[in-house]
Chain A
């Protein structure tokens, strides 16, 4: 594999990152002086990146097939010994589609946020962070080596942290920001060690060089390397066992949840695995691990999502679960890489659509988030209802909306592994589809249909202004057509140079049967939820069985983390503090006391008398001359 240097129009790809970065710098450095127009600058920067991205994408498509890459090395980033890292960018089919998703959906969400954040005194700061996020995310997908990816990776982590705790005066927001940051550190540490391993074993972090030589690694090394990268991916994408931060991240403003914690940043893990496909494809065990993580997470997300009452948390757990599908896709390898990317892009549209819809509902309902206190909103918010409905139908996979074209192939691919694991992963994916239909229908029905169950202060729900509903309409359109469009334009073929060709597998069930089955479970799940919640539900959570209680408590994963990591961590810290105080400080203090003591004693030699100085010089002279003569005599003998 070799990347062609960027030429012509494509030599401007650095602008994609530079424009939002410059805008972020202006917004954050100018301070209050930019309050009046800052948000429009933010929108403009992302929109400019989108237009540029579109131009670059078209020029890339114009290139000869097989040579559709543009690599640009801006300057030497790190040069130490054998380690040579370029500040380099790579624009290829994979990063191309990501750029379009990030800047396209990003632009819509930026526009929406102008309306959503209208009354917030920190709107300029918000747009500064938002632009910073876009710049970092673009760097993440545009880097041509793992260090660049890591650079962007940490950048989006920072922006995410800043935006989750945007309302930092709220203790819950501050805590959620911290939680996200800490759990991401675990994953980031894995990714960092993985990059160290790449350098240690291959002497490079450049994508092309790594992928060309990864075949020479022993399978154990590949396995460890892959697990470390997977740990990084799981941290960023909210996958088991690092999923707990993502739902809490909903403490941030809703546009943040839509852009960062649904459409783009959380899919960085999928990007990492897809980009590293030569590493993951090189080891069967590794692939099984990735699929297992994905399958487990997708079921967890569905089960917990079905028991939550907070509209944003349901959507968050749904995100966790949908990314689980993408992990199943990238774990299956071969042609399923492309399926995962398609699902990622489609998901970006319909999930952003629903998050913004949720934001619109909250906007009209005094920031109420409890779906038990909604109901019948269809009457008051026509556009929000209509657009949300497209998202809902898309995510549960009703043809011909986009979820059908993106999710159903992954379920089919899971059945095509060709051994007993086909049944395991296939049935998990199928069950997930049914559960998804159930909890999404529950959310939709409880919010927009049935009797009104509003709190006292919410007697007059209202529709949001056009600056918010127009982005919703565009995203709704995307939710309807994106999937079909991507199948029609043969995106898998477009991605083939990066992700490799499709490999045919023996299917345990025929494809059409799987299609029918998945439609049946979807309709069953949705119908069940409709029947249960058509007439509303209790205003407060009721006593429930073991499964529901467990789901309400996030399947005890938080408790597990606390018992297994937090408490031992605290004890370890205490033990280390003890060791530090008694052992290391003792040693250090001992040495210090020793030095101080000998210093005090030696000082007495400095008497201030010339005679004693002369004597010490004479002694020194005798010793030096003696030493020389001793060497000389020894040399003679």
Chain B
């Protein structure tokens, strides 16, 4: 037996993740040591500082290109860019999660296990402060995502997948309002997520059988010089892909998305829509570009079909939605389709434009869900579309901001929705995937309908008796909204700096 040698570890390169995991652990200690009165402030500050510190660490590492800790983690351009994006989007999500001004105690219930509607439940809903474990959980999830986009072998990737999924399952179940719906959503997400993880793990096993190793470099070697049956390779690739397609909410593995997005507390939905998408596509990019680019001609048509199906399902189903969160969920599914179009360009442009899209879309979707948290009545958020009728008359500023966000989703110029779609479609045409772009443009047209329907509803309908009020957002939500809207506008008008950044970062190490 060989001597067990400790692998070399580049702590600097791992620092962002170490900071986040450390801060999350500290958060758990803080939870039991801090007086309840201060807990929320301390936890929020701690989490925010941790995320900012991790972001600074990412910036400090900006020129690092290395594979470390025994080949498990690759720190390269895409890793650092996506980690930075995750941290910025995560910080904005934290602002939404930390807002306590819209509802007493915040959107999270402190003891979710209490039977809904019982005496105890009424009491705890009335006077207790909300749950503060959400902050360590969020930071754990973010840490897992950071590892997920950096994972350079399949097992690390699997571990990271679980690290960021488990906190999300929990977070989904914690809604103060409509708790049963929230818990149902969490359970569905958990069951289906475990199911998808099983596919992924099985795929890892097959690939190990094929390549005799699990690091992406080894898989790349084996693909270009196969020693084993190709069935292992294709079976493994298919199963791996399924695991990732699930997280990225691509058809036909998207079925959980509307239910979970609707049931989860809205700030958590925002976190999932923005950050989970970045993480999932980051991993997908790495696997496809680093390990399997040797069989690109074989997976391109299959995944292309998946992209077409996703765009169609997202766009067509968005048309008849009556709930704002479900509408945004289907829009997010369709956007996952557009992202996959960018991924399948399989060239440097594809990589950089997909990364650009992830950031641009992340900001917009955060702002969108941030706005959803504002429209409230006595029962919490009023998400049914009919309730939004005529809101433009009552709160023109709010409606104008939301209209802008919807126009961004629809891809109207002067918004990041236009520049990012233009970038991925341009990359895909260059990569020879014109058929995907045609479907993409057609479905964008379809999607414009549900968005514009909401705009029409906001401005041209008469407000009714039951029209809810738009709450005045507190500082945190206002800041999150402002960041989202300004980023959406800025990336639509001067996209060049960020595009240049993605271009500089578009080189994987192997």
Q: Given A599-B320, A602-B313, A631-B302: A613 and B242 within 8 A (CB)?
A: no
Query: CB of A200 within 8 A of chain B?
Result: no
- A635 and B298 contact, CB distance less than 8 A: yes
Complex Cα spacing A113 to B434, Å: 62
Q: Given A599-B316, A629-B231: A619 and B252 within 8 A (CB)?
A: yes
Q: Of the 9-residue stretches A397-405, A507-515, A603-611, which lies at the interface with chain B? A: A603-611
Give which listed residue, A598, A610, A620, contacts B191 with CB less than 8 A: A610
Complex Cα spacing A621 to B245, Å: 10
Residues of B within 8 A of A617 (CB): 192, 195-196, 242, 246, 252-253, 255
- A602 and B316 contact, CB distance less than 8 A: yes
**Minimum distance in angstroms from A603 CB to a CB of chain B:** 6
Residues of B within 8 A of A29 (CB): none
Q: Which residue of A lies closest to B191 (CB)?
A: A610
Query: CB of A625 within 8 A of chain B?
Result: yes
- B241 and A624 contact, CB distance less than 8 A: yes
- A613 and B238 contact, CB distance less than 8 A: no
- B316 and A632 contact, CB distance less than 8 A: no
Query: CB of A636 within 8 A of chain B?
Result: yes
- A613 and B255 contact, CB distance less than 8 A: yes
Query: CB of A600 within 8 A of chain B?
Result: yes
Q: Given A628-B238, A629-B235: A614 and B192 within 8 A (CB)?
A: yes
Complex Cα spacing A628 to B255, Å: 22
- B231 and A600 contact, CB distance less than 8 A: no
- B192 and A627 contact, CB distance less than 8 A: no
**Minimum distance in angstroms from B239 CB to a CB of chain A:** 7
Residues of B within 8 A of A599 (CB): 316-320
Q: Given A617-B252, A621-B199: A603 and B239 within 8 A (CB)?
A: no
Give which listed residue, A598, A610, A627, A632, contacts B231 with CB less than 8 A: A632
**Minimum distance in angstroms from B209 CB to a CB of chain A:** 15
Q: Which residue of B lies closest to A611 (CB)?
A: B191
- B298 and A613 contact, CB distance less than 8 A: no
- Name the interface residues of B184-236: CB closer than 8 Å to any CB of A: 187-188, 191-192, 195-196, 199, 230-231, 233-235
Give which listed residue, A598, A616, A624, contacts B302 with CB less than 8 A: A624
- A596 and B196 contact, CB distance less than 8 A: no
Query: CB of A595 within 8 A of chain B?
Result: yes
**Minimum distance in angstroms from A139 CB to a CB of chain B:** 26
Give which listed residue, A595, A616, A625, A627, contacts B239 with CB less than 8 A: A625
Residues of A within 8 A of B305 (CB): 627
Residues of A within 8 A of B192 (CB): 610, 613-614, 617
Residues of B within 8 A of A83 (CB): none
Query: CB of A592 within 8 A of chain B?
Result: yes
Which of B195, B253, B316 gathers the greatest number of chain A CB atoms within 10 Å?
B316
Q: Given A592-B449, A624-B238, A632-B230: A610 and B320 within 8 A (CB)?
A: no
- B316 and A616 contact, CB distance less than 8 A: no
- Name the interface residues of B434-471: CB closer than 8 Å to any CB of A: 446, 449
Query: CB of B306 within 8 A of chain A?
Result: yes
Which of B191, B192, B230, B258 gathers the greatest number of chain A CB atoms within 10 Å?
B230
Query: CB of B237 within 8 A of chain A?
Result: yes
**Minimum distance in angstroms from A319 CB to a CB of chain B:** 43
Complex Cα spacing A635 to B295, Å: 12
Q: Which residue of A lies closest to B298 (CB)?
A: A631
Interface contacts beyond A621-B238, A629-B235: sample of 7 additional A-B pairs, CB < 8 Å, sorted by A: A610-B188, A614-B191, A614-B192, A617-B195, A621-B199, A628-B299, A631-B302
List the 9 shortest-distance A-B pairs measured between CB atoms, nearest first.
A620-B252, A628-B234, A613-B255, A625-B238, A599-B320, A628-B238, A632-B234, A599-B319, A627-B302
22 residue pairs of the A-B complex, CB under 8 angstroms, read A592-B449, A596-B319, A599-B317, A600-B320, A606-B258, A610-B187, A610-B191, A613-B192, A613-B256, A614-B192, A616-B255, A617-B195, A617-B255, A620-B242, A621-B242, A624-B238, A624-B245, A625-B235, A628-B234, A628-B238, A629-B235, A635-B230
